[in-house]
Structure 1
Amino acid sequence: MFYLYVVVVPSARGIYMSFTDWSAYSTSRDFVGLDNYRTILDGTSGDALVRTVVIAAVTMVIQNMAGLLLALVLNTRLRGRNMLRTLIFAPVIVSPLVCGYLFKYIFAPPGIGAANDFLGAVGLDGFQRAWLGEPGSALTVVIIVICWQFVGISMVVYLAGLQSVPAEILEAAAIDGAGAMRRFWYVVRPLLAPAITINLMLSLIGGLKVFDQIYATTQGGPAGQTETISTLIYKQFSTLGAYGQSAALAVTLAIGVAVLSLLQFVVLRRQERNA
């Protein structure tokens, strides 16, 4: 009963509202069918949808590659590895808004931002720019923020997987003449399949619903070039008062996350069984 009132009823009401013209400028809530959903593929909504998928895909790849590399390095007898693990994981427990504002000031315009000051100090003045004021670089900064904050999660999951690999198997492979790369690919990688599945799913879902980092750094700018579905939902609801369109975007995002996550899970589980 609790689940019904807390989850099912609000979700059903939100889905219904996505088929209406409910807004802050009208007292009526007329049924408009699929009109709100048709507008999603037009203009800024369509661009935000594509951009959301691109951010999710890029961050998923970078986060997992960096996380696996860090896990492989920190799984050795490296001196001070425990401190390094802590430092890399630390951003995970920090608020995404705080991380976003931190990078907003790091990449602030010349004379303010630490990144531009560093470039000037090493004689690379020509590379100084308003990082968050240009479409290409602003999107790059957003991706950097997401990967920097959450690479620690991927690293920890991969570390757990690596530490569960029996040392005897690796020793046997080494005795048989397998080099480091062959041992990783034919011995370690198949045993890491569950960790790979978990990390890919977590990073994909996180990338699809990213909001805080973008809101803190660019608020969807410049000129909407870092707008995602999540930031557009917020803008449609709180700024424009288009509640029906905001609900349609939210339903679309929820369905997209569910479908992509399910497809990814099915594919990765099949690969686990074949590993």
Structure 2
Amino acid sequence: MRKLWVQVLFILPAFLIFSIFIVIPIISSVYYSLTDWNGLDPVINFVGMKNYHTLINDSEVWIALKNTVVFAVLVTIFQNVISLLLALLVDGSQWYYRYLRVVYLIPALLSALAIGYIWSYLYNPVFGIINTFLENIGLGQLAQDWLGDPKWSMYSIVFTNLWQWAGISMIIYMAGLQAISADLYEAANIDGAGKWQTFEKITFPLIAPAFTINIMISIIGSFKVFDIIYVMTKGGPGTATESLAILLYKKAFNFNEMGYGTSIAVVMFLIILIISIFQLSILRKREVEA
């Protein structure tokens, strides 16, 4: 019994922190999603599933969900492809490889607020560096209102997000690459395997755990995206870049519909939970097979 109590005492601090900052907020969010609370009035009226019924029939919610899915798919695919290529590129012991790793990682150390303002300036259609550069090299016809045009605004934000976070995914892939025994590559080289065969049969299967981590991080982060979009477009133009998190913020804090906004948060939580469980089961199966 004494050993059991010691174990409980060691677990208790982490359990309390987890309960206070995770479990209790989730339970309270579910409760508030069933009310018409405006965030200020001390009187809270229970309305049952009314918010969820309104949510299902709200076209703006479906637009925000579509934008969020598009953002998540683009970010997940391109971030993992780019970061894996970067990891393969700088996976060496020479000094300049270490320099390149630092360079690629620097954007992830900056705040989303700073990055949003920097790239908003770069994307500016009048004095932005991107359009100015295109005009100076004779490609002025390619200049766009990158954030003001609904056709380009989402892709512009996706590119900015990739620029910020590809370095983090690169580090995770590098950890996976460096865990692979050099003996395997030597054996493949002796057997006459080419670079692509070596990557296909050795590298790609053995970085499966890193692949799982990066996919999960990309998906979860993309479905919760708020800061970079809010800084750069606030969900505009119109609703072209409005994500579920942006819509949640507008409903809860701009229109004082805290109960309705919380119902959006609960739906986001369920979507992320379901996708994560489904995705994790598939990726874990791939790890075992690899």
Scaled by the length of structure 2, the TM-score of the pair is 0.90
Q: Aligned partner of 2:287: which letter?
A: E
Which consecutive aligned stretches of 4+ in structure 1 deviate over 4 angstroms post-superposition? Answer: 24-28
Equivalent residue for 2:271, pick from 237, 247, 256: 256
Q: Aligned partner of 1:97: which letter?
A: L
Q: Distance in 2 between matches of 1:154 and 1:162?
A: 12
How far apart are 1:7 and its partner, in Å?
Answer: 3.2
2:7 equivalent in structure 1? none
Equivalent residue for 1:183, pick from 184, 189, 198: 198
Task: Note the residue ranges of structure 1 that are not aligned, 5 or more in a row.
Answer: none
Residue 48 (str. 1) matches residue 64 (str. 2): yes
2:120 equivalent in structure 1? 104
What is the root-mean-square deviation in Å for CA atoms of aligned residues?
1.6
Residue 166 (str. 1) matches residue 181 (str. 2): yes
Residue 145 (str. 1) matches residue 160 (str. 2): yes
Query: 1:64-75 residue pairs with structure 2 within 5 A?
Result: 64-75=80-91
Q: 1:134 to 1:177 in 2, by over 3 A?
A: same
How far apart are 1:24 and its partner, in Å?
Answer: 5.6
1:82 equivalent in structure 2? 98
Q: Distance in 1 between matches of 2:25 and 2:84?
A: 39
- Contact (CA 8 Å) 1:220, 1:228: kept in 2 or not? yes
Q: Distance in 2 between matches of 1:245 and 1:68?
A: 40
Equivalent residue for 1:240, pick from 251, 255, 277: 255
- Contact (CA 8 Å) 1:18, 1:244: kept in 2 or not? yes
Q: Aligned partner of 2:183: which letter?
A: E
Across the two proteins, how many residue pairs are aligned to each other? 274
Q: Distance in 2 between matches of 1:127 and 1:121?
A: 12
Q: Distance in 1 between matches of 2:165 and 2:149?
A: 24
Q: Distance in 2 between matches of 1:173 and 1:5?
A: 52
Q: Distance in 1 between matches of 2:44 and 2:108?
A: 42
Scaled by the length of structure 1, the TM-score of the pair is 0.95
How far apart are 1:82 and its partner, in Å?
Answer: 1.1
Deviations 1:21-45 (A, max 9, x none): 1226866432222221233332111
Q: 1:82 to 1:5 in 2, by over 3 A?
A: closer
1:132 equivalent in structure 2? 147
- Contact (CA 8 Å) 1:55, 1:207: kept in 2 or not? yes
For the residue of structure 2 that corresponds to 1:31, the secondary structure is: coil
Q: 1:83 to 1:109 in 2, by over 3 A?
A: same
Task: Note the residue ranges of structure 2 that are not aligned, 5 or more in a row.
Answer: 1-15
Equivalent residue for 1:30, pick from 45, 58, 81: 45
Q: Distance in 1 between matches of 2:94 and 2:53?
A: 55
Q: 1:66 to 1:117 in 2, by over 3 A?
A: same
Equivalent residue for 1:220, pick from 218, 235, 240: 235
Q: 1:180 to 1:241 in 2, by over 3 A?
A: same
- Contact (CA 8 Å) 2:113, 2:227: kept in 1 or not? yes
- Contact (CA 8 Å) 1:39, 1:45: kept in 2 or not? no
- Contact (CA 8 Å) 2:63, 2:239: kept in 1 or not? no
